[in-house]
């Protein structure tokens, strides 16, 4: 596994912070915590299972919020989901 330097990780965090501050100027933000039961497999298999379930959640959420989620005219209404495994 490859690890980035501390300064590189800090720049990534700062970029996400700036992006989130910009988004929150025009819309509300929510914190959502996903809890999973014990998942089988190695680290990659677990991450893949979690990703599938979170993408499923995001798709359902998007369809409940936006009437035409695939339309360019409604793109600005689609929810933005930023996730990171713990």
Question: Would you state the pLDDT for residue 18?
Answer: 95
| Dihedral of alpha carbons 9, 15, 21, 26, sign | negative
Percentages (nearest 5) of helix, strand, coil residues in the chain: 60, 0, 40
Q: For residue range 67-79, what is the model confidence (pLDDT) as tens digits?
A: 998 999 998 889 9
- Whether 83 has a pLDDT exceeding 90, the answer reads no
Mean pLDDT within 32-55: 93
The verdict on residue 85 lying in a domain is no
Number of domains in the chain: 1
The verdict on residue 1 lying in a domain is no
Question: Would you state the pLDDT for residue 1?
Answer: 56
Which of 62, 39, 61 lies closest to 50, judged by CA? 39
The verdict on residue 26 lying in a domain is yes
The verdict on residue 66 lying in a domain is yes
The verdict on residue 52 lying in a domain is yes
Q: For residue range 5-24, what is the model confidence (pLDDT) as tens digits?
A: 999 999 999 999 999 999 88
Strand spans (E) along the chain:
none
């Amino acid at each position: 596994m490859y690890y980035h330097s501390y300064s590189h990780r800090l720049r990534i965090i700062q970029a996400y912070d700036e992006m989130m501050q910009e988004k929150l100027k025009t819309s509300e933000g929510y914190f959502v915590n996903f809890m999973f039961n014990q998942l089988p497999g190695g680290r990659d298999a677990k991450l893949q299972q979690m990703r599938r379930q979170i993408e499923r959640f995001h798709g359902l959420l998007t369809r409940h919020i936006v009437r035409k989620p695939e339309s360019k005219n409604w793109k600005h209404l689609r929810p933005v989901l930023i996730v990171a495994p713990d």
